[in-house]
Amino acid sequence: MAAISASTYPAAGVSPFSQRSATSSSGGIRNLSRILAVSTERGGRGTGFGENGKHEKQKLNQKVVKEESEVKPNIYANPEKLPEFEEDKKWLKDYFEECKEMIRSDGCPPRWFSPLECSSFTSPDCPLLLFLPGIDGTRLGLIMHHHKLGKMFNVWCLHIPAQDRTPFNELVKLVERTVRSENCRSPNRPIYLVGESIGACLAISVAAPNPDMDLVLVLSNPATSFSRSQLQPLIPLLEMMPDEFPINLPYILSLATGNPLTVLMDNVVKKGSLPQIIGELSQDLATMSSYLPVLADIVPRQTLLWKLNLLKSGSACANSCLHAVKAQLLILCSGRDQLLPSQEESQRLQKALLDCEIRMFDESGHFLFLEDNVDLVTIIKGASFYRRGKHFDCASDFMPPTPSEFKKLHDSISWVLTATSPVMLSTLEDGKVVRGLAGIPSEGPVLFVGYHMLMGFEVIPLVAQIMMERNILVRGIAHPAMFVRVKDRRPPEPELSDFDILRVMGAVPVSAANFYKLMSSKSHALLYPGGIREALHRKGEEYKLFWPDKSEFVRMAARFGAKIIPFGVVGEDDFAEIILDYNDLMKIPWRREEIERVTSRTAKLRTDASGEIANQQMHIPWVLPKFPGRFYYYFGKPILTEGMKVELREKKKCDEMYLHIKSEVEGCIDFLKNKREKDPYRNLLSRALYQASHPGSTSPFHLPSFDL
C-alpha cells in the first residue's frame, strides 16, 4: 500500500493554521445575562443550575436542535462567501466586560467553572479539558474558543480570584485532585490540560507525578523561562517602591526594556478609566501584548507582586520535575512575546521532553488565546492531538473541517488554483464523460486511485474542488513522514507543522489498519500506489506509473464493497522541468550525505518490495519553473466491487482487477495528454486575457477548455 507523498508540503505552502494572520476583527459586546457559567467548585462536578442557568441552557439546546434539523445546501460551493469566524464566537471586548463583572463581586477561593456555551454541545464521550489560566487568573482565558471547544470537549475552567493568595503547591493539589477523580471516573479517556504561562507550569507539575495517567498537555508560552525573563528582576523593585508611587505593569516593563512604545502606552492609559482604555487599545494594535495596560488595571499592584512570586515558584517547581513528564505535549509559542523568552524556551522544552511538538505564531504576543485569528480547536486538530480514547482513531476521532477552517485553506491555496486553473472531468455510470464531478458517487466507501504528479502538487486542488463542487471530503492516505516528528530536525527535513493543513482535511498515515477504518466508515479515500517513488520521479519519467506488483488495495476495497475510481492528472510538465534529479544529486557529496541522512530518519515503507518501487529515498529534486500552464484531471468510470468479496479472494482474479485499474489510470493520463493539446486556454496568459474580457468568469475552475 502506498500513500500521498511527504513531498506535498511545497504545494500547500505554510500552513494557515499555525501562522497568525495580520487581519483583525472585532465583535460587539454580548449581553451580560449570557455570561453565566456552571461552577464545579473545588474539583467537583456541578450539582445544578439556577433558574437563569436552566433558561439559558434550554435556549442554547433549542438553537442546536433547530440548526441540526435544517437541510442546508453545499455551503462550500463559494468559499469567498464563507464566514471568517463562527457565528457564536466571542471577542476581546467580551473578555474585558466579563472580567469587570467578575472582579466586582468575586471573593471566593479558586474553583472550577464550566461555560454554558460549552455545556450545551458536549457529548458524553467527549474528553475532559481543564483550562489553567495565566497571569490574569480568570476562567475567561479561552472565551474566544468556547463555542468550538464545547463541541469536542467537556470544558472546565479554573478561576483564581484576584484577591486570592493560594500558594502554587496548593493549586497543584487542587488540579491534581480533579485530574485523579476524573481519571477514576473515565479511565479510558484522555484528560487535556490547557495552560497559559503560569497555567502551563501547573500542568507540568500535575503531569510529572502522574506518568500512568493519559494526559495531553497544550501549553501556551510556558512560564518555565521565568528566571530568564524580564519579569524576575521586577519583584524586588515592586517590593521597594512605596505604595503612593504610581507604578503598574506597563510602567515597569518600560523601565525594564526601554521600549518607547510601552512608555507611550503607559502615558495613555494610566489616567484613563477601564472602558476608555478598552476603547482606545482595541482599535488597531497588532499584538495582544498591547492589552497589558488593561490587564494591569484588572490586576491590582499587590496582586501583581503576588502573581510574579507565583510565577517564580511555579517555574522552579515545573523545571524541577520536567524529567518525569511522560504526557503528550503541544507547545504554542509566540514570536512577539514581550513577557517571556518563549521561542528559546519552546526549543529547550522540546529537547527535554519525550513527546513534544511545537507550533510557532511569529506575529503573536503573549496572550495567544485572546488573538482573533488563533483558533485552538484547529491547532489541536492540525497537530493530530484530538482523540477520545487511548489512541488516535482516524475514523471515530476525526472532526471534519468547519466552514471557517475550509475558508482558511482555500485562501491559502488560492494562488495555486489561479495558477493551475484545474479542468475536472468525470465519467457517469453510462460511460459518458462530462465536465465537472457529477460522476463522483456521493455515498461511500469510495477509493480514488491515481497518478501522483511531481511533488504532489495535484493533491490540494483535487481535494478542494471535490469539497466545493460535491460537498465531499476526500481523505488522503499519506506517508508517515507527515505525522512523525523527527528529533533534532535539520533542513531539508520539513517542519511537522507544514502538514497541518492536510491533517485538518483528514489525511491519515498509511497502514492497513487505517485503510480498513476509512473503508468501514464509508469514507472517500485517496490512494497513490506509486507513492514517494512516483512523486519524486527522475528526468523523463513524467506520467509513468511506479506501482508494486502486489495488488495491495483491491481485496480491502472489495471487502466493504467500495467503488474504485481510477483517475489521471497531467500538467506538471507545463509548470516545472527537473534539472537535477535523484541520480544527479547523489553525485554531489554533501547532497548525497543529506539524502542518506533524511532517508534513514524517515519511516520505511515497502521494505519487502524489489525493483524501482523499493527506491524510497527522501529528496527534493531541483526544478526550473516554467510559465504556468494548466492542470487536467480525469476521473474514470467507477469500478464496482460490491458482491465481489469472495471472487477476489482468488489471487488471479484479484491481480486481474488490479491490472485493470492500473490500465484505466494510464488510459486517463493518455486521454488528457491528447485533449490538452486542443485547449486554447492552456497558457496562463490566454486565461488572463479571457478573464479580462469576461468579468464574470472569476473562478479558476470554470474557465473554458477543449471540447469533449
Q: Reduce the DSSP state of residue 646 to 3 states and report it.
A: coil
Instruction: State the burial class of residue 271 (Cβ atoms within 10 Å of its Cβ: 0-12, 13-18, 19+).
Output: exposed
pLDDT one-digit tens code per residue, 45-90: 333 333 334 444 444 444 443 433 344 467 888 888 888 888 788 8
510 within a domain of the structure (yes/no): yes
Given a cut of 70, is residue 225 above it in pLDDT?
yes
pLDDT digits (tens, 9 = 90+) for 328-340: 999 999 998 888 9
Q: How confident is the model at residue 525 (pLDDT cuts 50, 70, 90)?
A: very high
Q: Each residue of 383-398: pLDDT tens digit?
A: 999 999 999 998 889 9
Cα separation of 152 and 185, whole Å?
A: 19
The pLDDT of residue 20 is above 50: no
Q: What is the pLDDT of residue 88?
A: 80
Residue written as grid cell 477523580: 181
Please tell me the predicted confidence (pLDDT) of residue 338. Answer: 84
* Same structural domain, 368 and 409: no
Mean pLDDT of the chain: 81
> What DSSP string describes 565-620?
EEEEEE-GGGTEEEEE-HHHHTTSHHHHHHHHHHHHTS----TT--SGGG------
326 shares its domain with 443: no
Looking at 383, 415, 439, the residue that finishes a domain is: 383
One domain for residues 333 and 457: no
pLDDT band (50, 70, 90) for residue 16: low
CATH number at residue 451: 3.40.1130
Residues 499 and 412 reside in one and the same domain: yes
206/327 same-domain check: yes
Q: Is residue 85 part of a domain?
A: no
Q: What is the dihedral of CA 382, 385, 388, 392, to 10 degrees?
A: 90
| Local structure of residue 623 (DSSP, 8 states) | E
pLDDT of residue 422: 94
For residues 219 and 309, state if they share a domain. Answer: yes
- In-domain check, residue 567: yes
Same domain, 190 and 334: yes
Which grid cell sits at 388? Answer: 477520545
Contacts of 688 (CB under 8 A, 6+ apart): none
Q: How many domains does the chain have?
A: 2
| CA atoms lying within 13 Å on the CB side of residue 326 | 6
**Residue 295: band (very low, low, confident or very high) from pLDDT cuts 50, 70, 90:** low
Query: pLDDT-based confidence at 702, cuts 50/70/90?
Result: confident
Residue 685 lies in a domain: yes
Q: Which domain holds residue 474?
A: 404-576+628-693
Cell numbers for 164 = 486570592
Whether 270 has a pLDDT exceeding 60, the answer reads no
Question: Does one domain contain both 518 and 440?
Answer: yes
Same domain, 224 and 163: yes
Q: What is the pLDDT of residue 55?
A: 43
Residues ≥6 apart with Cβ < 8 Å to 646: none
Assign residue 215 the CATH number of its domain. 3.40.50.1820
Residues 472 and 435 occupy one common structural domain:
yes
Query: What is the spatial distance between Cα 141 and Cα 373, in angstroms, rounded to a whole number?
Result: 15
Asked if residue 203 is part of any domain, the answer here is yes
Summarised one tens digit per residue, pLDDT across range 111-156 is 999 987 776 566 778 999 999 999 888 899 999 999 999 999 999 9
pLDDT at 209: 96
**Is residue 37 domain-resident?**
no
pLDDT given at position 248: 52
Query: Are 418 and 321 contained in the same domain?
Result: no
Give the pTM: 0.83
pLDDT value of residue 385: 95
Query: Which region among 162-171, 243-252, 583-592 has the lowest average model confidence (pLDDT)?
Result: 243-252
In angstroms, rounded to a whole number, what is the distance separating the alpha carbons of residues 511 and 477?
8
3-state secondary structure 38-85: EEEECCCCCCCCCHHHHHHHHHHHHHHHHHHHCCCCCHHHCHHHCCCC
Per-residue pLDDT reduced to its tens digit, 433-452: 999 999 999 998 999 999 99
Residues 502 and 373 in one domain: no
Confidence of residue 22 (pLDDT cuts 50, 70, 90): very low
In this predicted model, what pLDDT tens digit does every residue of 303-349 receive, in sequence order?
788 889 999 999 999 999 999 999 999 999 999 888 899 999 999 99
At 462 the pLDDT is 95
Determine the angle formed by the axes of helices 274-281 and 92-105, rounding to 10 degrees.
Answer: 160
315 lies in some domain? yes
What element of type H or E holds 564?
strand 563-570
Q: What is the pLDDT of residue 607?
A: 67
Q: What is the pLDDT of residue 565?
A: 97
30 is a domain residue: no
